[in-house]
Structure 1
């Protein structure tokens, strides 16, 4: 099992609206059976009304695209041409009705081809490998979706250069609230076309253009049509190659976006030089709830500028300043306003090269963030010998759900302080201590925490130099009925645990009924023969109803155990994935 973060392509966009399927069971033959003179059936009439959802395009614009928007019969025509044919079509109700049924049937076939369903307000075609022909078919859908509120066509590489096909028809979906175009290889012309189209979608609340490099340097072309009173609430421009000038433009634009709640400029390393402008703009965004500046080239000076803006962000819930390695030292005298973020729920400062003086300053601030639920201080190795007081004061954050202090070079004293404080964190769900060698031989310091924790779902102890006695202690905690909510357990890269330790652990792991992932992989440089404990593991897995991933990289199986695993894979529980990287046969029979 791999516990690494997934490919962005696999991390599909969340927050989609529920899918609502239209009853597209009206075939061409059905629609052609009756004419108005024969008496149109009520069921057919109600079907058409349901599909059009009361749109005022029902008898004109929708029907007028019977030929011009049909990619199987003709090339796509501009909207003015379709309007010319609309009047002609309204004079032919029979033909319009027949073509409407045909068009709807083709739309249904198009969506089925992509594994999607007809919807009323949400059209999600992300990661569907759309071609130019598909784009034309999708555009032909728009007249039938006048109430569309969400359109997601992210992760479709071939959209680049063809976005004008959509933007020219954007007026047909003027109720659009959410538009996601992440990773579509947009061109400069696409960016310009989208900027023009923004004028005809005044209800837009969310715009995601992340992972489109051509946005960088062209941001004014895109966003210059946002006007005073704009309803935009979410603006995501992750990894868009934004320039320092783009950053300055964002700063000047922010006062116009009074409804903005989410701003994500992450992975744009060149905007660090325009933080002054961004910070000034942030002072006018009092409704902002999420600010993400991950890997943006922030410096010590940036922290001082941002801290001055924090006093104006009373609604802020999430703050991400992670992976800004030049930021270290910036909090020494510039954390006072951070303490005013009383509603802050998530603070991410991982891999920020925090210094001892930063830690001292944060010690005075973080315990005051009474609403904090997520705290990530990982990969700040200078914390190891100076964070004792900070970690001990985490006890004043009773709502903390996620605590990540992996790879912080914790020392025995700091780990002891953390262990004592963790007893007072009843809501803790995620606890990551990986890559802190001091945990090995001292897991008993967490005994009370492990016994009292009724919410813990993720426990990561990778590369902690755990000893056999540590894993035996963990097994005893499991045996007594604790950690019942645990879903993910990472014990990988702890090569000092002997076969006896793995045996007692595998004999008790079956009691973790909600466990979905377990990793006991060895270090990349280590290969060991599996002992008899492997049979106990296979037996335990059959009693774990939720388990899907078992990480066992670099463990060697004898031929007999490999056969057992093959038989196991063939039974009804074959959905369980043993991530072994290709088992190598052990040197014993």
Structure 2
């Protein structure tokens, strides 16, 4: 480090040159742990991390190069001990097995990190009961934008201390408190400091044992969170009772892009309640209502607003006990016709079909559709799959364990052959054991048209083993013509000796790596 020092013109104080710190803190954004969100932080020169340290009541500004070097050495040793690397403006200690002593060391370092924007200490059990030591220092990291405390065994005292500290970090954009059961019943204590104009963009409260009262409070809070883009309340089975309040609050979150209500105790009535809110969520990209087993029957006459989500890219309805009439309504959710929806009674399925000539494609931006584990949809899935042609952007289709029939595969093979699923990359048809060999043959003869397919799964359920038919040869011929495919799931299909030899020859002759996941043929 250069020993050159410059005097300030006003006070004559000396400032240490920080070029030696640059190499240590020269972390890029690419190194930071990245989740599936669009949040961005602004890069600055790594040396700013220390150079801008401000005086406070609890920490004195660094006054010498020796103190600077000492603090950096301690920081470097701390990260090396935990197997972590320095990343600009980010302190990621996720799943590091932090001890009580580690927590004390981390707290001691916070005064030297005034430009910290991301703090992740998720999945560390010993955080619980000690969070107050961190929250007391929050005023020193007031530029914090991302705070992740998932699965930290937070106590009631912890969540109360957090609620008081959130006022100290007005720039906060992401808060993740998932998998902390003590959050439940205490949500108002945590979020009470959020005011209108809050910059929060992502709020994750997965499996927090939220109560119906928590849901009511959240519904009242949502109108203040105008910047909110991601809301995940999954695995909170008691909030279904306060869905009216939540849905009312959602009407004010026009910027919301992701809504996850996986396993939240939703019912048939919940679909109608949410349907009224969908018209206000024009920017929604991802909707997850999966694993709500009492939803079955709710879509029969309540998908009118769902089709208005024209920017929707991901729709997850797996394990929702969908009925045949639900599937029929969802089929028509892919289409709209001029005035016909209002003219026809929801129960008049024949009337709906009669006006099918005048159609306008909707949900045309949908990229991922998951309808798996809905066994009652088997009889009506033919009509739904035949209308996949109205989803030109579809990249992932998951319909495993749906009791599909051979007629369904015929409809899927007309759609594939016509090139309507040209962008499909993932196709999961597993656990549909009722498909006969003729159905598999029809499918395998046409799968070659899925030129961008990467992953295909046709495995049988664990309790079933079945001899592989002649369709396997058609599959091998098709795979040769699929330039992108790398994974084919075929668990519990039994190959005769002749077909095993064909597969061995295919493995030897092919010029690229394709993994047939069969788990050992029997």
Q: TM-score, normalised by structure 2?
A: 0.77
Partner Cα separation in structure 1 for residue 326 and residue 88 of structure 2: 52
Matches within 5 A, 1:148-163: 148-163=116-131
Q: Which residue does 1:431 correspond to in 2?
A: 397
Structure 1 residues 463 and 395: alpha-carbon distance in aligned structure 2, compared to 1, 3 A threshold = farther
Matches within 5 A, 1:383-422: 397-409=363-375, 414-422=380-388
Out of 424, 428, 452, the residue aligned to residue 485 of structure 1 is: 452
Q: Which residue does 1:450 correspond to in 2?
A: 416
Partner Cα separation in structure 2 for residue 343 and residue 531 of structure 1: 50
> SS in structure 1 opposite 2:91?
strand
> SS in structure 2 opposite 1:555?
coil
Structure 1 residues 221 and 102: alpha-carbon distance in aligned structure 2, compared to 1, 3 A threshold = same
Q: Which residue does 1:228 correspond to in 2?
A: 196
Q: Tell me whether 179-188 or 481-490 shows the greater mean CA deviation.
A: 481-490
Structure 1 residues 44 and 530: alpha-carbon distance in aligned structure 2, compared to 1, 3 A threshold = farther
Q: Tell me whether 244-253 or 340-349 shows the greater mean CA deviation.
A: 340-349
Q: Structure 1, residues 469-511: CA drift from partner, whole Å, max 9, x if none?
A: 5555555546xx6333221111211844436544564466455
Q: Which residue does 1:520 correspond to in 2?
A: 490
> SS in structure 1 opposite 2:431?
coil
Structure 1 residues 262 and 498: alpha-carbon distance in aligned structure 2, compared to 1, 3 A threshold = closer
CA contact (8 A) 1:423 1:448 kept: no
Q: Structure 1, residues 261-281: CA drift from partner, whole Å, max 9, x if none?
A: 222111111112212222222
Q: Which residue does 2:47 correspond to in 1?
A: 53
Partner Cα separation in structure 2 for residue 133 and residue 550 of structure 1: 48
CA contact (8 A) 2:316 2:369 kept: no
Q: Which residue does 1:18 correspond to in 2?
A: none
Matches within 5 A, 1:493-508: 493=460, 495-498=465-468, 500-502=470-472, 505-506=475-476
Matches within 5 A, 1:333-412: 333-355=301-323, 358-359=326-327, 361-362=329-330, 365-368=333-336, 397-409=363-375
Partner Cα separation in structure 2 for residue 189 and residue 412 of structure 1: 51
In structure 1, stretches of 5+ residues that fail to align are: 1-29, 62-78, 370-384, 557-589
CA contact (8 A) 1:499 1:533 kept: no
CA contact (8 A) 2:220 2:246 kept: yes
Out of 91, 96, 104, the residue aligned to residue 123 of structure 1 is: 91
CA contact (8 A) 2:206 2:232 kept: yes
Q: Which residue does 2:40 correspond to in 1?
A: none
Partner Cα separation in structure 2 for residue 135 and residue 538 of structure 1: 55
Q: Structure 1, residues 509-563: CA drift from partner, whole Å, max 9, x if none?
A: 455442232211118xxxx57624334434544636454x54223623xxxxxxx
CA contact (8 A) 1:327 1:352 kept: yes
> SS in structure 2 opposite 1:347?
strand
What is the CA-CA distance between 1:162 and the residue it aligns to? Answer: 1.8
Out of 259, 264, 278, the residue aligned to residue 291 of structure 1 is: 259
Partner Cα separation in structure 2 for residue 403 and residue 151 of structure 1: 34
Partner Cα separation in structure 2 for residue 412 and residue 307 of structure 1: 25
Matches within 5 A, 1:93-242: 93=64, 97-242=65-210
> SS in structure 1 opposite 2:416?
helix
CA contact (8 A) 1:507 1:537 kept: no
CA contact (8 A) 1:307 1:334 kept: yes
Q: Which residue does 1:551 correspond to in 2?
A: 517
What is the CA-CA distance between 1:147 and the residue it aligns to? Answer: 1.9
Q: Tell me whether 497-506 or 240-249 shows the greater mean CA deviation.
A: 497-506
Q: Does 1:302 align with 2:296?
A: no
Partner Cα separation in structure 2 for residue 261 and residue 59 of structure 1: 32
CA contact (8 A) 1:439 1:466 kept: yes
Structure 1 residues 46 and 199: alpha-carbon distance in aligned structure 2, compared to 1, 3 A threshold = same
> SS in structure 2 opposite 1:454?
coil
CA contact (8 A) 2:311 2:366 kept: no
Q: Tell me whether 161-170 or 233-242 shows the greater mean CA deviation.
A: 161-170
The alignment's C-alpha RMSD in Å is 3.8
Partner Cα separation in structure 2 for residue 219 and residue 207 of structure 1: 13
Q: Structure 1, residues 323-369: CA drift from partner, whole Å, max 9, x if none?
A: 22233344455444444444433333333334455455555544249
> SS in structure 2 opposite 1:179?
strand
What is the CA-CA distance between 1:243 and the residue it aligns to? Answer: 0.9
Structure 1 residues 535 and 106: alpha-carbon distance in aligned structure 2, compared to 1, 3 A threshold = farther
Q: Does 1:270 align with 2:270?
A: no
What is the CA-CA distance between 1:236 and the residue it aligns to? Answer: 0.9
What is the CA-CA distance between 1:307 and the residue it aligns to? Answer: 3.0
Partner Cα separation in structure 2 for residue 415 and residue 257 of structure 1: 39
Q: Structure 1, residues 395-448: CA drift from partner, whole Å, max 9, x if none?
A: 655444333344445788745434543345443322334334554487454434
What is the CA-CA distance between 1:460 and the residue it aligns to? Answer: 1.9
How many correspondences in the alignment? 472
What is the CA-CA distance between 1:222 and the residue it aligns to? Answer: 0.7
Q: Structure 1, residues 97-149: CA drift from partner, whole Å, max 9, x if none?
A: 22322332232233233332212222222222222222233334433432222
Partner Cα separation in structure 1 for residue 238 and residue 161 of structure 2: 25
Partner Cα separation in structure 2 for residue 541 and residue 183 of structure 1: 44
Q: TM-score, normalised by structure 1?
A: 0.69
